[in-house]
């Protein structure tokens, strides 16, 4: 959790500084920098759809190490987003995604619940997060806050049950554009998501495909 | 170019501010509920003097009870404090920052008696070590001879305190000044959530067995604990419906209490300081077996927890009754347990619970109503538990007192409010997360409630009462538990075949 927070704060700091870098970028664009000036030749705004896929790594420890036999912290995150690429610096966006975060296995002794046995856990979360992003040269920093629906299933004594928990989330990410053709862009992307109400923090890296579905001139 | 720069500057600046704001708020969101506050319970690096000595007996510890004035160390503990004792602990209780010191006591090989342990301000991350020696010498000698001093008058405690784990060097001295007002079986200093708030620095989680044990050591003689039911119907101690990170930890600890079985809850979750989420049965066993707590206020949060909780209470009270009815008074243990009815929904559950218990041939345990004083009487409950926000409600408290019912206000942590309610309402108890503060203010301004001639069913009997030679002894005996029904003004039979 603490490692996650440190990483998160690092990303947040970079992002917080990004607009000032952008302001410095503007004169360069005017002097003819092709990359920075590329957006001048694009439509002034567009409605952008995007999809992201990549592995995730969740932080945190099981509560009872004495019971825990194995924990898998690497999962997969899949997300889709819609963004309005405005003619201004900041683009509003709405993202919906799901992350398969972790799985584990514990061996419970006999107790007040009855006989012991293997307890298998699966942890995931839905993410619904409005936020903002910006294009700074090829970088695309973003932040968002929103809601998460943390879902967990437990398999014990031959029965599987699920539980859910609604919690606030915040996230920060940074994409780097590696490909561009017409209205299609592909980014390499990394982000960190914090769900403090559920004591969850995870980060993910992945590929993001972005497509201008509608252009406004 | 200048106009172009100007046109860029406005959105850039506004964007910068917006971004900084969002980043800051996002960071705060990440950090807000990150973890329980740090708590440090200091200890002597060499184990202290207690390990070299012979612990004083429970009976000997009673000799330390009383009101004390400080001649040195008032910066830490104020000008005066109260000392009460429990199993293995001498507790210094003050109204300065609700501070307390929990000390062990032992006779050293050189005939000195040492009190040693730690002090703490529960609302602040401040604590330190305390070491006191008992004077005069003849009192220490008596204690080391295994005797109990005839009176606490003249008792002096002299030594020092420190900060954190630093060796105690700041002078601390206090001397006996007055007897304590009667409190055992009379006035309930009820520990909220078992002891401390989630935001306190006590080093234990609320609603844990550890917090119940701590509450006994820091000034409480009753505990209020919250009860919910797991998916498989086992009542456990937990306050919130959901497994909030403010209360629990664990990668796989998510969802609601009602969605998880006890096995899943225990396998996946621990309380903030690592303790197990206890069942009601475990908590009551801890109360009975490892504390001198006299009263338990079960705040049953959900209707589905009512019946299984009352079954457990029934079992505990039956076991106690059996234990107390044998010929050996030395193992007697009296604990009053009340089941709180906190809403109309729970009242319906209470009615069906009573019917179910009666059908099973079981007794109905004493109840408490939190919201409507009239229901206390019509339901045959033993106590009213109003929130402090309704004011002292002096006339209602008096009306219930006349009818033989107790009043226990919840939850008061502020000194001036505690004083006001003690003076105006003279309640039978107050729920507070500041046990030391409440106990000491009761000693200053409280009026020992009168026992209502056997019509006070859930008032626990004197528990672990000091021997006659020690001061102070309770002024009046209390009825045994489970006790007879409260008077029934309506002529109904509210609690059936109770006890």
Q: Is the ipTM of this complex over 0.85?
A: no
Query: Candidates 2.40.110.10, 2.40.50.100, 3.40.1160.10, 2.40.160.20; correct CATH number of A43-216?
Result: 2.40.160.20
Pick from B385, B389, B415: nearest CA to B397:
B385
Distance separating alpha carbons of residues A77 and A131, to the nearest angstrom: 18
Are B26 and A114 an interchain contact pair (Cβ–Cβ within 8 Å)? no
For B11, the 3-state DSSP assignment is helix
- Nearest-CA neighbor of B145 among B63, B262, B243, B22? B63
Q: Which two tokens stand for residue B381?
A: 């409950």
Return the residue of A nearest to B232 by Cα. A113
For residue B146, what are its two tokens?
A: 């295994």
Give B309→chain A minimum CA distance, Å: 15
- Where are the domains positioned within chain A? 1-42, 43-216
Task: Report the chain B residue with the minimal C-alpha distance to residue A27.
Answer: B5
pLDDT, residue B39, reads 76
Q: Give the pLDDT score at B328.
A: 86
Q: In this structure, are residues B313 and B284 in contact, taking their beta carbons and an 8 Å threshold?
A: yes
Smallest CA–CA distance, residue A214 to chain B, in Å, is 24
The answer to whether residues A206 and A57 touch, using CB atoms and an 8 Å cutoff, is: no
Contacts of A162 in chain B (CB under 8 A): 255, 259
Q: Which residues of B touch A163 (CB under 8 A)?
A: 254-256, 259-260
Cβ separation B268–A112 shorter than 8 A:
no
**How many cross-chain Cβ pairs, A to B, lie less than 8 Å apart?**
197
Give the strand pairing for B429-432 and B406-409.
parallel
A145 and B11 in contact by Cβ < 8 A? no
- Three-state SS string over chain A comes to CHHHHHHHHHHHHHHHHHHHHHHHHHHHHHCCCHHHHHHHHCCCEEEEEEEEEEEEEECCCCCCCCCEEEEECEEEEEEEEEEEECCCCEEEEEEEEEEEEEEEEEEECCECCECCEEEEEEEEEEEEEEEEEECECCEEEEEEEEEEEEEEEEEECCEEEEEEEEEEEEEEEEEEEEEEECCEEEEEEEEEEEEHHHCEEEEEEEEEEEEEEEEEC
Question: Nearest CA to CA, how far is B256 from chain A (Å)?
Answer: 7
Q: Are A108 and B263 in contact (CB under 8 A)?
A: yes
Chain B residues in contact with A172 by the CB 8 A cut-off are 23, 26
Taking the C-alpha atoms of residue B252 and residue A200, their distance in angstroms, rounded to an integer, is 9
CB A140 within 8 A of CB A176: yes
pLDDT of amino acid B479: 34
Three-state secondary structure call for residue B479: coil
pLDDT tens sequence for chain B (499 residues): 444 444 445 445 445 544 555 555 455 445 544 454 567 889 998 989 999 999 999 999 999 999 999 999 999 999 999 999 999 999 999 999 999 999 999 999 999 999 999 999 988 889 999 999 999 999 999 999 999 987 677 899 999 999 999 999 999 999 999 999 999 999 999 999 987 777 788 889 999 999 999 999 999 999 999 999 999 999 999 999 999 888 999 999 999 999 999 999 999 999 999 999 999 999 999 999 999 999 999 999 999 999 999 999 999 999 999 999 988 888 899 999 999 999 999 999 999 999 999 999 999 999 999 999 999 999 999 999 999 999 999 999 999 999 999 999 999 999 999 999 999 999 999 999 999 999 999 999 999 987 643 333 443 333 334 433 333 333 333 333 333 333 333 333 322 322 2
d(CA B212, CA B283): 8
Cα(A72)–Cα(A206) distance, rounded to whole angstroms?
Answer: 19
Return the residue of B nearest to A147 by Cα.
B29
φ and ψ at residue B117, rounded to 5 degrees: 170, -140
Which secondary structure element, helix H or strand E, spans residue B279, and what is its range? none
Give φ, ψ of B327 to 5 degrees.
Answer: -85, -5
Burial class (CB in 10 A: 0-12, 13-18, 19+), B468: exposed
- In three-state secondary structure terms, B380 is coil
B256: chain A residues, CB-CB within 8 Å: 163, 165
């Amino acid at each position: 959790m603490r490692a996650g927070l440190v990483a998160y704060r690092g990303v947040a700091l970079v992002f917080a500084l990004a607009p000032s870098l952008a302001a410095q970028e503007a004169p360069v664009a005017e002097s003819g920098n092709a990359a920075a000036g590329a957006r001048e030749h694009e439509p002034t705004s567009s409605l952008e759809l995007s999809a992201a896929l990549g592995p995730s790594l969740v932080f945190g420890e099981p509560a009872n190490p004495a019971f825990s036999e194995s924990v898998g912290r690497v999962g997969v995150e899949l997300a889709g987003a819609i963004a309005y690429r405005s003619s201004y610096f900041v683009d509003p966006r709405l993202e919906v995604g799901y992350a398969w975060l972790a799985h584990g296995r514990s061996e419970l002794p006999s107790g007040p619940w009855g006989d012991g046995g293997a307890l298998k856990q699966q942890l995931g979360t839905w993410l619904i997060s409005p936020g903002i992003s910006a294009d700074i040269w090829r970088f695309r920093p973003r932040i968002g806050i929103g809601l998460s629906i943390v879902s967990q299933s437990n398999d014990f004594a031959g029965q599987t049950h699920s539980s859910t928990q609604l919690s606030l989330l915040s996230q920060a990410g940074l994409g780097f554009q590696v490909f561009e053709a017409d209205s299609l862009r592909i980014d390499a992307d990394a982000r960190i998501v914090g769900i403090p109400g559920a004591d969850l923090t995870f980060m993910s890296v992945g590929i993001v495909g972005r497509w201008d579905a509608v252009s406004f001139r | 170019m200048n106009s172009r720069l100007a046109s860029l500057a406005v959105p850039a600046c506004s964007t910068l501010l917006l971004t900084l704001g969002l980043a800051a708020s996002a960071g705060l969101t990440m950090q807000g509920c990150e973890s329980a506050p740090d708590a440090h319970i200091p200890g002597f690096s060499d184990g202290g003097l207690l390990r070299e000595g012979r612990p004083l007996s429970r009976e000997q510890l009673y000799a330390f009870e009383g009101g004390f004035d400080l001649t040195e160390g008032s910066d830490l503990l104020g000008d005066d404090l109260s000392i009460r004792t429990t199993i293995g602990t001498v507790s210094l209780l003050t109204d300065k920052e609700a501070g307390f010191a929990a000390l062990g006591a032992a006779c050293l090989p050189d005939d000195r008696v040492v009190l040693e342990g730690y002090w703490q301000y529960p609302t602040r991350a401040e604590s330190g070590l305390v070491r006191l020696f008992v004077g005069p010498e003849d009192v220490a000698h008596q204690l080391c001879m295994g005797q109990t001093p005839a009176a606490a008058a003249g008792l002096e405690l002299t030594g020092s305190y420190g900060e954190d784990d630093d060796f105690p060097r700041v002078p601390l001295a206090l001397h006996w000044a007055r007897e304590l007002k009667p409190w055992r079986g009379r006035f309930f200093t009820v520990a909220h959530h078992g002891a401390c708030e989630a935001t306190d620095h006590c080093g234990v989680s609320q609603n844990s067995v550890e917090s119940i044990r701590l509450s006994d050591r820091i000034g409480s003689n009753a505990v209020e604990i919250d009860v919910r039911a797991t998916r498989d119907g086992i009542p456990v101690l937990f306050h919130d419906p959901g497994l909030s990170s403010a209360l629990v930890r664990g990668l796989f600890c998510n969802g609601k209490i009602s969605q998880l079985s006890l096995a899943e809850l225990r396998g996946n979750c621990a309380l903030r300081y690592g303790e197990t989420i206890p069942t009601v049965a475990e908590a009551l066993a801890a109360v009975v077996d490892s504390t001198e707590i006299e009263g338990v206020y079960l705040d049953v949060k959900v209707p589905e927890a009512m019946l299984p909780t009352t079954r457990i209470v029934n079992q505990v009270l039956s076991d106690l009754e059996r234990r107390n009815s044998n010929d050996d008074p030395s193992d007697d243990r009296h604990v009053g347990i009340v089941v709180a009815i906190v809403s109309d929904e729970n009242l319906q559950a209470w009615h069906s619970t009573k019917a179910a218990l009666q059908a099973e041939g079981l007794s109905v345990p004493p109840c408490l109503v939190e919201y409507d004083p009239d229901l206390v009487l019509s339901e045959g409950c033993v106590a009213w538990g109003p929130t402090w926000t309704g004011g002292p409600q002096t006339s209602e408290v008096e009306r219930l007192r006349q009818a033989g019912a107790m009043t226990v206000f919840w939850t008061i942590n502020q000194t001036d409010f505690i004083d006001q309610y003690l003076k105006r309402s003279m309640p039978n108890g107050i729920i507070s997360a500041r046990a030391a503060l409440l106990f000491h203010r009761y000693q200053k301004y409280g009026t020992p409630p009168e026992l209502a001639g056997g019509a006070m069913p859930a008032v626990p009997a004197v528990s672990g009462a000091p021997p006659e030679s020690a001061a102070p002894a309770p002024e009046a005996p209390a009825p045994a538990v489970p006790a007879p029904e409260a008077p029934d003004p309506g002529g109904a039979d509210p609690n059936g075949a109770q006890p």
